[in-house]
Amino acid sequence: MGEGRSDARHPTRWEYRRLLDGAETYREVLVCRLAGEVGLRPAEMTRVVPADLSEVRTEPSRYLLSVRGERERSAYVPPSVAREIHRYANSEGIGADERILDVTPRRVQMLVGDVAARTATLTGDESFETLSSRDLRKFFAKTLLCEIGVDPRTVKAVGGWRSLDSLDASLPEPTPETTVRAFDRHPEVVATTPRPRERPAGDALLTEAIDDSDRVSVLVTDDRGTIRTCLGSEPTLGYAPTELLGRPLSTLAVGTELLAPTAGATAERWLRQGDGTDLFARIEVADGERDGRTLLVTDLSEERRRVDALRTERDRLRRRVALSERLQTIGAALFEADDRRAIEADACEGIAAEYEYAWIVGRSLSTRRPEPTVVSGIDPDDRRSLVEPLAGVYAAVLGEGRSRLAEGIEGEEVLVVPVTSGETVQGALCVASRHAFEPWERDRLELLGRLLAAALATHRRRTLALSETVVELELECTDERSFLVSLSRTLGCDVRLRSIVPVEESALLAYVVVEDATPSDVVSLAVETPGVSDQRLVDQRADAALFEFTLTGASPSLTFTEYGASVREATVADGRMRIVADCAYDADVRTLVDGFSLHFPDSSFVGKREVERTDRTAGEFGSRVTDRLTDRQATSLEAAYFGGYFDWPRDSTAEEVADAMGITSPTLHNHLRKGQRTLLEAVFEPEEDLD
């Protein structure tokens, strides 16, 4: 459709200013102004270089832009737009002959569309969403012709229209109101002997303000407040002059608020328009009237809407900053708490300080209806109200691992986010609010759910590493979702897990010894298994081979790791896996076992027992060394050791180990060198230096 389409929008000056307010970058502002104030098409914008702009007059400055394209022309550039072009070119380091907008015309159209959509959200006015670069050229033409009064031939030339007919198609059809207003200043087409204009009683300067404005009215009242004269009342107040004459000034009052104008006073207040809507206006009362008052009424609704929108946006941004800082503080504090209950309590108390209340629901398959384990900000007697109405939401979040919205007590909106580590959902964090959750709030609370899971897992691992007594769990698994079970059952081989090395949140390296199976068969099966992203033969002996698998799918070892437990032993024979794992003494064993059963239904819990660690001295030494190693150094050393990097001859090169970990070879060497030095220091330096 051409430029003269009949369904084109004709933005008002207020809408254009709001559109510019919706721009977030210099480039977006520049694109909108080049269309709305210079009249450039998207394709023409993409050809502009700084050298095309020239100053043709000084004092005051006047600029022209050489527009290159199918119809070359000189476009007039307002001084403020010229400064915008210079500022953007300087900030982006654009040379004199380099394109200012190094994008396609389609991308220019999309930039305008992005700004329009953002403005629609900011103002709540959905009509902005349809605003396009073509509509901004319509605004450019209408402003020059209808408001500034530029000669149509000049407008045609600077805007690049082919004819006056095509330019005419860019303008809206005049309404009866705009037609009458156009002749307000010169009602007589044929010049006659000029006579002084009759002005109402009062300050004559006030009435001159309404000559060309649809935002100003002059009202004259007698000493009893009855309106005797009015000018410009229809466009501003929505009343024809005859509708207001003889009526009291209180006709314009909102509610019980009455106008009580005092000579020389100025006030801003709401007025009631003829159609029943409200208008925010400034009322200025003239001095020196003995028998009445002359009032200048100026429509400030646009300014008030802008101020209200800015205040709303300011309040929203303040809340966003405050909440982000609060959640950041909560996240940092989670890793400093002493026990699991303290971690959960700190999270709930911190969130309840910003919202209505918060609570945590644990995962347990043996409990038909999950109940809150920790609650903050709500009366204990109301805890039961968090169970039955939200049972379905809890089940969905715990099962799917995705956040959900629900309705809470007294109509609050409740956001339920999963407490998840990798693919394992350990529970749900629930937050109640009296206002609707914005997308950025959901993102941050979902991040907090992941941080909470990480803090709980870190606490469990720390407790496990430092405890003299641990809880030993034994389970059996015949579920073929486990790659090692499937490997044993398919190839009829025995499998023994030698070591696991976590490399990412949801991935680990597993070093596995396979007996009575050919390496090629093992590799072929691993390639066909979705949960195995990489595989490598590390070493081969007469009847056994050592493999390195990168496991990203369902894996018992990964599930235990995400719950903060440590797999000590895993063997598989005839498709039946025996797993022995250690967990901290205060770990929630039921949640761990239920979570394992959820991932691997064909499994059974054999038993648990508390065991004393016999390697206390070695553990103390390892603890001191581990405290000095970074996570990456420890992970790199473990991967290199079990990958055969330190053997002679080497079973793995540094490049192979680094590739398995997803890092570069120089990075691996850096971690290994620093980690080895730390280990050697632990051996050769005096023990007190380690502390």
Q: Is the pLDDT of residue 343 over 50?
A: yes
Whether residue 198 is contained in a domain is answered as: no
- Strand 266-272 relative to strand 73-77, pairing: unpaired
- How far apart CA 79 and CA 650 sit, in angstroms, is 72
Q: What's the token pair of residue 510? A: 């597993």
Domain coverage including residue 521:
469-679
- How far apart CA 620 and CA 615 sit, in angstroms, is 9
Q: Is the pLDDT of residue 287 over 70?
A: no
To the nearest 10 degrees (0 to 180), the angle between helices 340-352 and 301-334 is 170
CA neighbor of 51 nearest in space, from 12, 100, 91: 100
For residue 164, the one-letter residue type is L
Give the pLDDT score at 610.
82
Three-class SS of 523-575? HHHHHHCCCEEEEEEEEECCCEEEEEEEECCCCHHHHHHHCCCEEEEEEEECC
Does residue 416 contact residue 397 with C-beta atoms inside 8 Å? yes
Q: What's the token pair of residue 58? A: 């000084």
pLDDT (tens digit per residue) in 180-221:
455 454 444 433 333 333 444 444 444 444 444 567 888 888
pLDDT (tens digit per residue) in 77-95:
988 899 889 888 988 889 9
> Both 672 and 549 in a single domain?
yes
Whether residue 273 is contained in a domain is answered as: yes
Taking the model in full, what pTM does it have? Answer: 0.42
Q: What's the token pair of residue 196? A: 């002084």
Whether residue 112 is contained in a domain is answered as: yes
Give the pLDDT score at 409.
66
> Both 600 and 660 in a single domain?
yes
Q: What's the token pair of residue 390? A: 């939200």
Give the pLDDT score at 608.
85
Mean pLDDT, residues 135-156 taken together:
84
> Both 269 and 401 in a single domain?
no
Whether residue 111 is contained in a domain is answered as: yes
Phi and psi at 414, nearest 5°, equal -115, 130
- How far apart CA 297 and CA 253 sit, in angstroms, is 13
CATH number of the domain bearing residue 209: 3.30.450.20
Three-class SS of 271-326? EECCCCCEEEEEEEECCCCCCEEEEEEEECHHHHHHHHHHHHHHHHHHHHHHHHHH
Q: Is the pLDDT of residue 461 over 80?
A: no
CA neighbor of 294 nearest in space, from 228, 223, 220: 220
pLDDT (tens digit per residue) in 619-673:
556 666 767 788 888 888 989 988 889 888 888 898 989 988 889 999 999 999 9
> Both 458 and 476 in a single domain?
no
Q: What's the token pair of residue 555? A: 């894996």
> Both 507 and 436 in a single domain?
no
Mean pLDDT, residues 289-318 taken together:
83
Give the pLDDT score at 565.
79
Sheet with 357-362, edge to edge strand ranges: 372-376, 357-362, 424-433, 413-421, 404-407
Whether residue 508 is contained in a domain is answered as: yes
Does residue 547 contact residue 522 with C-beta atoms inside 8 Å? yes
> Both 443 and 485 in a single domain?
no
pLDDT (tens digit per residue) in 571-616:
999 999 999 988 877 777 777 787 788 778 888 888 888 887 655 4
Sheet with 469-477, edge to edge strand ranges: 532-540, 544-551, 507-515, 494-504, 566-573, 576-583, 469-477, 603-612
Number of helices followed by number of strands (H, E) in the chain: 25, 21
Does residue 526 contact residue 537 with C-beta atoms inside 8 Å? no
Q: How confident is the model at residue 531 (pLDDT cuts 50, 70, 90)?
A: confident
Domain boundary among 428, 463, 498: 463
Domain boundary among 268, 299, 330: 299
Whether residue 3 is contained in a domain is answered as: no
Give the pLDDT score at 238.
84
CA neighbor of 481 nearest in space, from 558, 397, 563, 395: 558
> Both 280 and 149 in a single domain?
no
Q: Is the pLDDT of residue 432 over 50?
A: yes
- How far apart CA 534 and CA 551 sit, in angstroms, is 8
Does residue 30 contact residue 157 with C-beta atoms inside 8 Å? no
User: What radius of gyration, in Å, describes the C-alpha atoms of the chain?
Assistant: 38
CATH number of the domain bearing residue 34: 1.10.443.10
- How far apart CA 68 and CA 45 sit, in angstroms, is 9
Residues 6+ apart with CB under 8 A from 543: 515, 516
Give the pLDDT score at 384.
67
CATH number of the domain bearing residue 425: 3.30.450.40
Three-class SS of 456-492? HHHHHHHHHHHCCEEEEEEEEECCCCCHHHHHHHHHC
Q: Locate the DSSP E strands across 105-190.
A: none
> Both 481 and 429 in a single domain?
no
Whether residue 190 is contained in a domain is answered as: no
CA neighbor of 244 nearest in space, from 257, 256, 232, 230: 230
Q: Is the pLDDT of residue 31 over 90?
A: yes
- How far apart CA 547 and CA 484 sit, in angstroms, is 12
> Both 267 and 332 in a single domain?
no
> Both 570 and 603 in a single domain?
yes
Q: Is the pLDDT of residue 32 over 90?
A: yes
> Both 211 and 282 in a single domain?
yes
Whether residue 488 is contained in a domain is answered as: yes
pLDDT (tens digit per residue) in 146-159:
777 777 888 888 88
CA neighbor of 349 nearest in space, from 333, 363, 335: 333
For residue 539, the one-letter residue type is D
Domain count, the chain: 4
For residue 401, the one-letter residue type is G
The H or E element that residue 639 is part of is helix 631-642
In a 3-state reduction of DSSP, which class is residue 605? strand
- How far apart CA 238 and CA 277 sit, in angstroms, is 9
- How far apart CA 300 and CA 280 sit, in angstroms, is 5
CA neighbor of 71 nearest in space, from 150, 159, 140, 138: 159
Does residue 145 contact residue 53 with C-beta atoms inside 8 Å? no
> Both 547 and 616 in a single domain?
yes
